[in-house]
Amino acid sequence: MPGEADLLHRSGTWSGVAPGLPRWDHVSFEVRRTEAGGSFAIGGETTEWAVVPLAGSGRTDCRGESRSFGGRASVFDARGDCFYLPAGCRATVHADTALEVALCGAVAEGGGEPQLVRAANRDVELRGAGNASRQIHALIGPSFPARRLHVIEVWTPGGNWSSYPPHKHDEEGADETVLDETYYFRTRRPEGFALQRLYSEQHGIELTAVVRDGDLLRIPFGFHTTCAGHGYDLYYLNVLAGPQRERTLDAREDPRFTGIRDGWADMAIDPRLPLVT
């Protein structure tokens, strides 16, 4: 059973995570940096991938078609594009400028077609209320024709709670499904930070930690929630996948905190949102 030290990977100490770790069966995640003119291959028989540009511009060559993507200077300057690559398909990623991308993978069977998901064609969703509000950008959500993979960008203004009330997705039930999840954190300013809580009485874990730019959290189980430090806007990239064929993000909120929603009807969304357009 993974413990606290196994789940929170500090910036500069990790190169990627993949199935095969304790209680970790579905999600792969890596950040790849390539100088202008560089390239690398991606793809495999049993993994579907999403290439999310974090900074810079590039293009993919796949099945004889070239697709250009990216262009934002950082994750705080614009919403991201995404190139989706089904399992059993291979592609080459070329860097037109210095390029930083997140490689988001899920164990899956083959099928489907490569697609370029443009940020301009995806909806912006504002969730929560008051200082528990944030901006959601679902690049690959339940309605997307992937097999297992979900990829979601989240921006949280400094001082706000995010993914609140705490929720979990580690059991199958009427309102919950099993999903491995990663949180990849970036802060608008390098000294910025956030507070992350991950807890489960069933699995014997209580993690409350400071997370900083470039940290990665794996969530195989437990309730979780995040709070951005005052004055420091926070971005995190969620990658989720599980064993079920039905595409759903059903999660169970901690019943001890769901009553907080009763006060949201009279509260406005944080006026700083959306943080990026």
Look up residue 44 and give its two tokens.
């495999």
For the entire predicted model, the pTM comes to 0.96
pLDDT digits (tens, 9 = 90+) for 225-270: 999 999 999 999 999 999 988 999 999 999 999 999 999 999 999 9
Tell me whether residue 273 is in a domain: no
Tell me whether residue 276 is in a domain: no
Whether the pLDDT of residue 174 is over 90: the answer is no
In terms of pLDDT, which residue wins out, 1 or 276?
276
Tell me whether residue 261 is in a domain: yes
Q: What is the pLDDT of residue 123?
A: 86
Tell me whether residue 93 is in a domain: yes
Tell me whether residue 227 is in a domain: yes
Query: How is residue 7 annotated by DSSP?
Result: H
Tell me whether residue 60 is in a domain: yes
Q: What is the pLDDT of residue 5?
A: 73
Q: What is the pLDDT of residue 71?
A: 94
The structural domain count of the chain equals: 1
Q: What is the pLDDT of residue 110?
A: 84
Tell me whether residue 271 is in a domain: no
- Looking at every residue in the chain, the average pLDDT score rounds to 95
Half-sphere exposure of 75 (CA within 13 A, CB side): 28
The phi, psi pair for 90, rounded to 5°, reads -125, 150
CATH of the domain at 196: 2.60.120.10
pLDDT digits (tens, 9 = 90+) for 176-192: 999 999 999 999 999 99
Q: Which domain holds residue 77?
A: 4-116+123-266
Q: Do 29 and 21 form a contact (C-beta atoms < 8 A)?
A: no
Q: What is the pLDDT of residue 277?
A: 85
Between CA 88 and CA 111 the distance in angstroms is: 7
Whether the pLDDT of residue 1 is over 90: the answer is no
Place of tokens 């590039």: 58
